[in-house]
Amino acid sequence: MIEAENLTKRYGEVTALDGVSFHVERGEIVGLLGPNGAGKTTAMKILTCFMPPSAGTARVAGHDIFEAPLAVKRSVGYLPEEPPVYPELTVDEYLAYAGRLKGLGGRDLKAARGRALDRCGLAEVAGRLIGNLSKGYRQRVGLAQALLHNPPVLILDEPTVGLDPAQIIEIRGLIRDLAREHTVVLSTHILPEVTATCQRIVIINEGQIVAVDTYENLSQQVGTSRRVVLRVRRPGPELADRLRALDGVLAVDPETDGAYRVESRQDRDLREEVARVAVESGAGLLELAGVAVSLEEVFLRLTTEEKEGAA
Amino acid sequence: MSRVFVIAAKELRSYLVSPTAWVVATVFLAVTGLLFYNIVAWYSLQSFQLMQFGRGSEGLNVNRLVFEPTFHNMAVTLLLLVPIVTMRLLAEEKKARTAQLLFTSPVRLGEIVAGKYLAALTLLSGVLLLTGYMPLLVWAYGSLEWGPILTSYLGMVLLTGAFVALGLFASSLTENQVVAAVLTFGLLLGFWLLGWAAQAGGEEASILEHLSLITHLEAFLRGVVELKDVAYYASVTALGLFLTHRVLDSNRWR
């Protein structure tokens, strides 16, 4: 659905994007992940034909962004970082305007408006001025605008920023729902968001792609160790020593509240043995869990490794 | 409905729900009304004195003595107020990031420019139309020729169109509305004052005079529609719109 080839964008001296290529298949949810200023928004602005790249090209829904920008715009719904809403219009008026800009009219427009209002939970504020709505509602109005013409591709720039936790869960659910009929690209710097919604992750740092894969693969690739966290009733140095004696254990870090973090080699699953040791030592095992390397760590390692490589 | 009208309708709505349009209309009508009153008062005094000398008032042409200066005053007032109307057209959208909706919708740049232009011109033409009470009053209590009045309004609308196009251009250059307004004011005043340079005389001066926004209004106010004047205002308008289009297009490549 989306084929970005070698996208490069320079703002004067600054290179915001540097040879970025990635593909998104129909019906996928792909997360663009990166620190602030990594080039996520720039990539999205190029894919939505808001601005052309300095070099490279892209095809969105089968249309070239240079040759058929209007066709690309017709097949893309875009929610920018800042929802592009007019405070002086009501939600209903705004959606009518956005719909007409996108070429809807008459009965189609009315149906599209009703559907977007329903989907984004805006029905009860439809008659209110957008200027009087909270940030969360404005974000939803922006999303409703993106969905309005039922485009095959949705590009959402930080869709959950400014929402409260309940709304975030709601919007994530909505995005997963949407992915059944749409291809979704969303950007975020909030890591759990990616694990919660996306099938594939594109990690961007300083304008370059550092990694493209599923979350599971990425964490395996990056993880050099496995972890088991256990909590016991009666912690003591003896237990730590016995854990350290196990084959394959790299480190044992005692933490507060009688918890221990046991690191082992990647190829060894120590959960069973750790449990046995804990029970035999009579420390009173309370909890035990295998911990995957978190996305934060994957992310940090990938983005810092890249820097070291460049330096 | 064509996209141009979609955009124009939305812009007009935004004008009408904001206080700016109402304040501009009120100030325009108050200032031009006051000036009109002064001119009419002066005109009746003159007529009265003439009648006292027993010459009758046929010699005093109400079109020339009342409406020519009145339309002149309107043009000067517009010069001051048009920047306030046009400053928000593109600057506000850029500042509020709503431009992203426009520029990522399947709409051509030309349609955006035309829609914005049309909205401001419609608003200002509406305000101009409200000054129609002036000739109606004079017509009700005296007599006047409607021909020159109609050509004057045509000239005023053409002048306003040129003003708005230059204002739209200034608004495309910045995301700061005050900067856009000051820039527009400077552009309009500059074009206006070119006419004064003509007083210096000489070849160059007459070229400058032809470039002036005000000199081309004279014929309209006397009831004459000349092709060169219409062409002049149309060219300035086209230039403003073209430059706006170029600026919007080139901004994308930065």
In tens, the pLDDT along B76-108 reads 999 999 999 999 999 999 999 999 999 999 999
Mean pLDDT of B7-16: 94
Contact between A100 and B253 using a beta-carbon 8 Å cutoff: no
pLDDT of residue A34: 82
Contact between A11 and B252 using a beta-carbon 8 Å cutoff: no
The phi and psi torsions of B27 (rounded to 5 degrees) equal -65, -45
- Distances in whole angstroms, Cα of residue A256 to Cα of each of A211, A234, A270, A277, B100: 35, 12, 22, 20, 50
Q: Which of A117-121, B1-5, B111-115 has the highest mean pLDDT?
A: B111-115
**Has residue A309 got a pLDDT over 50?**
no
Mean pLDDT of A254-259: 79
Please state the length of chain B: 254
Portion of chain B with pLDDT greater than 90, in percent: 71
**Interface membership of A55 toward B (CB under 8 Å):** no
Using alpha carbons, select from B25, B6, B4, B13 the residue that is nearest to residue B84.
B25
Distance of CA A182 to the CA centre of its chain: 16
What's the CA gap between A215 and A308, in Å, rounded? 23
- Probe site for chain B from A63, A86, A141 (most B CB atoms < 10 A): A86
The phi and psi torsions of A148 (rounded to 5 degrees) equal -45, -50
**Has residue B117 got a pLDDT over 70?**
yes
Smallest Cα distance from A212 to chain B, Å: 27
Q: Are the C-beta atoms of residues A159 and A171 closer than 8 Å to each other? A: yes
Q: Are the C-beta atoms of residues A65 and A2 closer than 8 Å to each other? A: no
* Helix (H), strand (E) counts: chain B: 13, 0
The phi and psi torsions of A184 (rounded to 5 degrees) equal -120, 130
The four Cα atoms A155, A161, A162, A166 give a dihedral, to 10 degrees, of 90
Contact between B104 and A11 using a beta-carbon 8 Å cutoff: no
Using alpha carbons, select from A41, A82, A299 the residue that is nearest to residue A194.
A299
Confidence of residue A306 (pLDDT cuts 50, 70, 90): very low
Instruction: Write the Ramachandran bin of B18: left for phi over 0, alpha for psi from -120 to 50, otherwise beta.
Output: beta
**Has residue A219 got a pLDDT over 90?**
no
Interface of B with A (CB under 8 A): 1, 3, 6-7, 10, 13-14, 17-18, 96-108, 252-254
A311/B29: higher pLDDT: B29
* Cβ-based contacts of B102 with chain A (< 8 Å): 101
